[in-house]
């Protein structure tokens, strides 16, 4: 147990010696720094310190100004992009609304045409053919020639239906 106590005592002495040595090194470093701050007349050169401080502040302010300008430019770009995106979405919505209105008009006209037909015409075997032709006419991928042909087929079917046939 005495040996443990003695080894701890020895460690404590070495630690204290290192602390004193490090403190001396730190004091020497600080005195060298202080000597560099003063001129040969042992007077602190406040003018030089003030000039260095002012130069530092100018550089810092100019860097902050450049950063602020860059941030403003980024913000302006983001706002401009947001406005363009919003405008594009509004145009898309308007086009969708117009398309839906046109589809509703076509549906209404098809419904009114169907209601104009008498019950006997609705029971004819050609009615399913008319419905099929109408569905084909509503497909967007048809070219004008194909649409005109289907319209002629529809007219021919309707002209073949005579209300007096029943």
Express each pLDDT in 9-53 by its tens digit. Answer: 888 888 888 888 989 998 898 888 777 776 555 566 778 878 888
Q: What is the dihedral of CA 88, 93, 96, 101, to 10 degrees?
A: -140
Angle, to 10 degrees, between the axis of helix 144-160 and the axis of helix 126-137?
Answer: 160
Q: How far is CA 117 from CA 120, 124, 162, in A?
A: 8, 11, 11
User: How far apart are alpha carbons 7 and 4 in whole angstroms?
Assistant: 5
* pLDDT for position 91: 93
pLDDT tens, residue by residue, 101-136: 998 888 888 777 766 765 555 556 677 778 888 888
Q: What is the pTM of this model?
A: 0.34
């Amino acid at each position: 147990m005495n040996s443990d106590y003695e080894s701890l005592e020895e460690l404590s002495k070495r630690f204290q010696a290192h602390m004193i040595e490090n403190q001396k090194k730190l004091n020497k470093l600080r005195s060298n720094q202080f000597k560099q701050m003063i001129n040969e007349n042992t007077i602190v050169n406040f003018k030089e310190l003030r000039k260095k401080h002012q130069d530092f502040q100018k550089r810092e302010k100019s860097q902050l100004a450049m950063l602020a300008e860059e941030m403003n430019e980024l913000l302006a770009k983001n706002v401009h992009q947001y406005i363009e995106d919003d405008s594009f979405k509004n145009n898309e919505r308007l086009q969708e609304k117009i398309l839906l209105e046109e589809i509703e008009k076509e549906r209404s006209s098809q419904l009114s045409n169907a209601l104009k037909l008498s019950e006997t015409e609705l029971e004819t075997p050609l009615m399913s053919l008319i419905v099929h032709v109408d569905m084909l006419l509503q497909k967007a991928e048809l070219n004008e020639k194909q649409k005109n042909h289907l319209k002629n087929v529809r007219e021919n079917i309707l002209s073949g239906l005579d209300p007096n046939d029943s």
